[in-house]
Amino acid sequence: MREARKVNLASERWVKAVIEVLFYGGAVFIALLAGGLVMAAAGVSPLEAYRLIWDGAVGDAGSVKETLVKATPLLFAGLCYTFAYRCGLFNIGAEGQIYIGAMTGTMAALYVPGLPGYAHLPLCIVAGAVGGALWAGIAGALKIFKGASEIINTIMLNYVGIYLVSYMVTGPMKDPSGTLPQSARLPESALLAKLFDSRLHYGFVLAVVLAIILYVVLNRTVWGYEIRSVGFNKQATKVMGIPVNRNLLLVMLVSGAIAGIGGFVEIAGVQNRLFQNFSPGYGYDGIAVALVGGAHPLGNIGSAILFGGLRSGANAMQRMTGTSTSLVYVIQATIIVLVVCNRYWFGGWKRQLIAWLVNRYGSRRLPEELQTAHSASEVKISFNKGEEAR
């Protein structure tokens, strides 16, 4: 009996996974269609444009590497959002944390001279992490001690961070030997090594490793257990004796640190200097990455590569046709909407399909909870105001 149950559960899980993958594929497809419509309306041939994007993204080895280059900051940003989200926090501030992390990392790179690469680069990465962590920590602390919404505060901090970097590169950190508003070039000891003799750098490897670490932390460790508990039900978690506020703050710090590392990696791997507006909204793209990645650290890797490909492909397209890369934003926004709304539009339909498939191809019986899907717990109408007011 117990064996039969196990098989049943496993097959249900597989069916679910397949359906989810199909669904996300469908969402991406529809979003690309929407992007095509926009292009057609803007007077560009969608087929031609997508061919250019495809070639630019995966056409040859060089473009694949370029895709991974673009995927790197997106993956950091996606992980930043994902990690906070799993603890029930909305960190919309990856953008600002990327800027601050890039700034503090660059400071460590420029103002701590004379270290060998194996010491200097890690130091800079840590500095970037600390910068991002502090920036997110401000919002985290305000939430815990003052009850202020982390959503609003992280948004506000985005702009503060961007302007702060803008001030630094036009003022104190400006390259004394140049006229442009940018910092001096990072010393070799603080640069990320390149992979395969291309623009691709070790930052991508770092991001993937980080995704795996986060996955393991969330699913296998005591701390990850606490984080997920807090994310699902703060009140119950408190009753269980699990510290809620401490975890909220810690997660916010780590989430910011991830974005901060991402910011510095972008400087040390690609740009080599800090300047204004070096991020074209990676922080906001990270939300799309996280959502399409199912708020799962490993899923983020796939979605970051997808969006990285779109971006590098769109760059190629812009070079050829002059259509703005901003088209990517339209596609991203459409994907976000489709993914977020799927639960509401197709949730019931999907559940039925899964139940049917499990019934048809799994074991003979439905899992017990599916038979009594509407358990007594759902009988009462909730009289609460819904979620805690944000």
Q: Which stretch binds other proteins (CB under 8 A): 70-78, 194-202, 255-263, 338-346?
A: 338-346
- Residue-wise DSSP of 304-319: HHHHHHHHHHHHHHHH
Rg (CA), the chain: 23
Which amino acid belongs to residue 354?
I
Is 236 a binding residue for other proteins by CB under 8 A? The answer is yes
Residue 376's beta-bridge partner residues? none
> 54 to 83, contacts with other proteins by CB under 8 A?
none
Q: Closest CB to other proteins among 29 and 167?
A: 167
Is 327 a binding residue for other proteins by CB under 8 A? The answer is yes
Longest Cα pair distance anywhere in the chain, in angstroms? 77
> 89 to 108, contacts with other proteins by CB under 8 A?
90, 92
Is 9 a binding residue for other proteins by CB under 8 A? The answer is yes
Contact partners, residue 19, CB within 8 Å, separation at least 6: 350, 353, 354, 357
Residue 215 phi/psi, 5-degree rounding, is: -60, -45
Q: Closest CB to other proteins among 29 and 62?
A: 29
Of 164, 184, 205, 353, the one binding other proteins (CB under 8 A) is 164
Is 207 a binding residue for other proteins by CB under 8 A? The answer is no
Here the tokens at position 377 are 């717990």
Is 198 a binding residue for other proteins by CB under 8 A? The answer is no
Here the tokens at position 168 are 């630094």
Q: Closest CB to other proteins among 149 and 198?
A: 149
Is 371 a binding residue for other proteins by CB under 8 A? The answer is yes
In 10 A of CB 24, how many CB atoms? 22
Q: Which stretch binds other proteins (CB under 8 A): 69-77, 122-130, 155-163, 201-209?
A: 155-163
Q: Closest CB to other proteins among 179 and 375?
A: 375
Estimate the crossing angle of helix 297-321 against helix 282-292, to 10 degrees. 130
Here the tokens at position 59 are 């056409």
Residues 78 and 304 sit within 8 Å (Cβ to Cβ): yes
- Distance, CA of 164 to chain centre: 23
Q: Closest CB to other proteins among 193 and 341?
A: 341
Closest contact distance (angstroms) between CB of 324 and other proteins is 5
Is 117 a binding residue for other proteins by CB under 8 A? The answer is no
Q: Closest CB to other proteins among 266 and 285?
A: 285
> 208 to 227, contacts with other proteins by CB under 8 A?
220-223, 225
- Distance, CA of 390 to chain centre: 22
Is 1 a binding residue for other proteins by CB under 8 A? The answer is no
- Distance, CA of 366 to chain centre: 36
Q: Which stretch binds other proteins (CB under 8 A): 59-67, 110-118, 245-253, 370-378?
A: 370-378
CA gap 99, 279 in Å, rounded? 8
Contact partners, residue 246, CB within 8 Å, separation at least 6: none
Is 364 a binding residue for other proteins by CB under 8 A? The answer is no
CA gap 173, 108 in Å, rounded? 12
> 241 to 260, contacts with other proteins by CB under 8 A?
241-243
Is 197 a binding residue for other proteins by CB under 8 A? The answer is no
Is 379 a binding residue for other proteins by CB under 8 A? The answer is yes
Residue reference for tokens 């993914």: 339
Closest contact distance (angstroms) between CB of 166 and other proteins is 5
Residues 180 and 114 sit within 8 Å (Cβ to Cβ): no
Q: What dihedral angle (degrees, nearest 10) is formed by the CA atoms of 335, 338, 341, 347?
A: -130
Residues 251 and 137 sit within 8 Å (Cβ to Cβ): no
Is 116 a binding residue for other proteins by CB under 8 A? The answer is no
Instruction: Convert residues 267-296 into a mask of x (bound to other proteins by CB under 8 A) and - (unbound).
Output: --------------x--xx-xx--x-----
Q: Closest CB to other proteins among 5 and 319?
A: 5
> 34 to 53, contacts with other proteins by CB under 8 A?
38-39, 41-44
Q: Which stretch binds other proteins (CB under 8 A): 20-28, 119-127, 259-267, 328-336?
A: 328-336
Of 16, 51, 185, 238, the one binding other proteins (CB under 8 A) is 238
